[in-house]
Each structure stands twice: as structure tokens, then as C-alpha cells.
Structure 1
Amino acid sequence: MSEVTYYIKIFIAISVLVNPIEGIPLFLTKTGNLSRDQKISIAKKTSVAVFIILTVSLYLGRYLLELFGIGIPAFTLAGGIIIFLISLDMILGKSKSGDKEIPDDPGQNPADIAVVPLALPLLAGPGAISGMILYGSKSNGLEGDIFLTIIALLVSMFVLISLITASRMEKTLNQTGINVLTKVSGLLIAAIAVQLVFSGLQQMIPSLNNP
């Protein structure tokens, strides 16, 4: 696998883990009474928060693994299991953006939703954080870190564009279209998760490499 292909694969993986399309219904519900300028402001804050969460996970994650003595194979296996469980929720229709899971707070300033719950845990949730820590731990030095930072930036821009165009996308896709895209993303995430689990097992049990 070429280096370019490798980083494209990572970009796709983190993008489907963040999955900003699924956050559109919640964003529209929480910002329904706001002006377009206010919605754009919240979208910008959310994308910045997502970028910060992903980059912090990238740069601090590896040190946390070292601090707690967690090996890469073990984290790869655990991360794969977590991501697989997330993919099952997406495939089975248990949306992470459902309003039932995020109760309304009458006293909450609508602008406050940019970080919680939009950026965290809705978009940059456990799956995306685990993915960034995992890929960061496998980085080949400064060059790899730079590419991963660029990927985090591109994903956050994807979030920004998705939220700014949320109303138009909902009209185009409607809820059924969003659900279909979410299930397809779930299948992709499941495939990534299975690969991570198998990779972790191969590293922990070398004999699996010799059928």
C-alpha cells in the first residue's frame, strides 16, 4: 500500500467515524429558531471543537498509552471492538443523534450546543477519538503527524460544510436518505473495526500469521 493510499484510507475512516451527516437532524432541531448567521457561527465553533478534540487525541493519546502501560496491540483490539459496537448501532438504526438521548435544557443557550453535545460526544465521539489515538500511535514521526493533522483539519472542514448546508441537505436527502447514508457508513465502519480486531489479534498472537 502506497503512503498516499494509506492516508486516504485514514481520512475515509475518520470521516465515517465522525459522520457529520448524522448530526444534521440534531443541529437543525437545536438551531431551528436561530438566524442563518447564528447557525453559521455554531457550525464554525463545532468544527473548531472537532479539530481540537481530534488533534489532542492524536498528540496526547500515545503518551497516555505509555503512561498506563497499554500496548498498541491491546489498544488496537479494544479500539476495534468499540468501533464495531458503534457501527452496529448505526446499522440497526440506533442513531447517536436522537433527541431522546440528549434531553432538552430550557435554560441552555443555543450557542452552547456547539461543543456539547454536537462536537462531543456526537461527532468526535469514542470511535473517532480511538481512531486518532490508534493511527497516531502508528505514526512514522513528524511527517506522519503532519499528515494526520491535515486529515483532522479536512474532517473538521467536512463538518463545517455539512452543518452550514444542513437545511439544504435535509431537503435533498430527507430523513430516509440520511438514515440510508448512516447505515452505509455503519457497514464501512464495521469493516474497519473487523480489520482492527484481526490486526490486534495478529500482533498479540503471532501464530495467527502462519495459517
Structure 2
Amino acid sequence: MSIDLPFVTKVFSALFAIMNPIANVPVFLSLTEGASDAVRRRVAATAALGTTIGCLISIMGGQAVLDAFGLSVDDFRLAGGLIVLTIALSMLQGSSSQTHGRTPKEKKDTADAESVAIYPLTIPLLVGPGTIATLIVYGHAAEAKDKWPELAIGVGAFLALLTVALLSAPWLGRHLSATATAITRRLMGMILAAVAMEMIVTSLRNLFPGLSH
């Protein structure tokens, strides 16, 4: 059985752009400021596990959620595309998207470092509306085109990279400059904008077949 590498790359690139491990390293360090490396590793492991579970739920249970609300995948693809585009535009402007929950300042001064592993680090920082929308769309595409192995490879490869990035955050924080982070955020914003436009155009073509002509 041949593997559709373009689909694997598309899934990996979309998740990398929307969750952006490199740009989120400073956020992780900010949320766990003052914690020991051991505590930070526990937070990273918990966040990685939570993100994995969130991704699996979005992929496997996404269609059931749509059916419960009487929505089609194209309805959700269009809405998801708009959400992802909003996130991409904020990244291109060098700011954090409120839509995707990139709000490290929400941490309270008295909060224990480990308490941020699930909220806000996992939800909604990593597994936010944009991530959920993207995974539901790709999950539907994998089911329709029998590309489950490709989806598993793409998602698995990204989650492995995310886990390594979070566990390496203390070391990366000492070597990643603010300029490098800003450049990465804008580059990922461009990729994410392209993914969003593909989602929007595809949904519009399916909802309004006349547009294809």
C-alpha cells in the first residue's frame, strides 16, 4: 500500500502552523516561570498527553458532534476555515490570537506551575477551536478517501515533535531569540493562511457547485 505523502505533509504542516511548538516555547516558559526543570518536564508531559487525547477526540468524535447539531462537514469546514484564517492573520501581525486562546497572561500569580498543564496550556492554547476544526476536516477527508494511515502518520509525527519541543523548552528558551520566534510566527502564519483558504474554497465549491464553473 502506497502512502500519500502530500496528504501526510499537509496534515503535519497544518498542525505545526496552528500549534507552532517553536513560538509556544516562550509561552510555556512564561506559564511555568519560577518552576524547577523537573516540574516543567511534568507539565510538558501532561500537556503532551492532553493534546494527544484532544486530537484523538476531535478526529474520532468530530463527525458525531456535527450529526448531533445537524451540520455538514462543509458547514464546519467553512466555519473552521474562517477561524483558522483569523488565527493566521493575527500571527502575521505578530500578535497572539484570542480566538485560539493564546493568552498566557491569564495565569494567576498564585497558581502552581503544574496547574497550567491542562488550562490554559493544553486547552485552549494548543487544542483550541482552530485545531479542533482542522482535525475534524482532515478526519472527514481521511474517512472519505481511506487515508487513515496518512492521517495517523501526520498527526503522530507532529505530536512527537510537540512533545520533544515541550520537554526541551528550558534548554530551547536559553537559545531561541525573540527575533527567531517572531520570524517563525509569521512564517507559520503564511502557511496557516494557505490552509485556511483551501478549507474555505473547498467548502464553498461543495456548498455552491455553480462556483466551480
Could you state the TM-score of these two structures normalised by the residue count of structure 1? 0.89
Deviation at 1:78, TM superposition (A): 1.1
Give the 5 Å matches for 1:1-211: 3-96=4-97, 97-100=102-105, 102-106=106-110, 108-140=111-143, 144-210=147-213
Aligned 8 A contact 1:79 1:130 in 2: yes
Tell me the secondary structure at the aligned position of residue 108 of structure 2.
Answer: coil
Tell me the secondary structure at the aligned position of residue 70 of structure 1.
Answer: coil
C-alpha distance in structure 2 between counterparts of 1:113 and 1:13, whole Å:
25
Aligned 8 A contact 1:21 1:178 in 2: yes
Could you tell me which amino acid in structure 2 is paired with residue 197 of structure 1?
A: I
Deviations for 1:23-64, whole angstroms, at most 9, x for unmatched residues? 211211232322222211111111110100010000000111
C-alpha distance in structure 2 between counterparts of 1:150 and 1:37, whole Å:
30
Aligned 8 A contact 2:4 2:150 in 1: no
Deviations for 1:54-101, whole angstroms, at most 9, x for unmatched residues? 10000000111112111122111111111000111111122244544x
Identical amino acids, percent of aligned pairs: 28
Regions of 4+ moved over 6 Å: none
Could you tell me which amino acid in structure 1 is paired with residue 71 of structure 2?
A: I
Unaligned runs of 5+ in 2: none
Could you tell me which amino acid in structure 1 is paired with residue 154 of structure 2?
A: I
Aligned 8 A contact 2:77 2:203 in 1: yes
Deviations for 1:178-208, whole angstroms, at most 9, x for unmatched residues? 1110111011101111111111111111111
Aligned 8 A contact 1:93 1:183 in 2: yes
Unaligned runs of 5+ in 1: none
Q: Quote the RMSD (CA, aligned, Å).
A: 2.0
Aligned 8 A contact 1:20 1:123 in 2: no
C-alpha distance in structure 2 between counterparts of 1:178 and 1:205, whole Å:
40
Tell me the secondary structure at the aligned position of residue 14 of structure 1.
Answer: helix
Size of the aligned set, in residue pairs, is 207
Tell me the secondary structure at the aligned position of residue 172 of structure 1.
Answer: coil
Could you state the TM-score of these two structures normalised by the residue count of structure 2? 0.89
Could you tell me which amino acid in structure 2 is paired with residue 63 of structure 1?
A: A
Tell me the secondary structure at the aligned position of residue 173 of structure 1.
Answer: coil
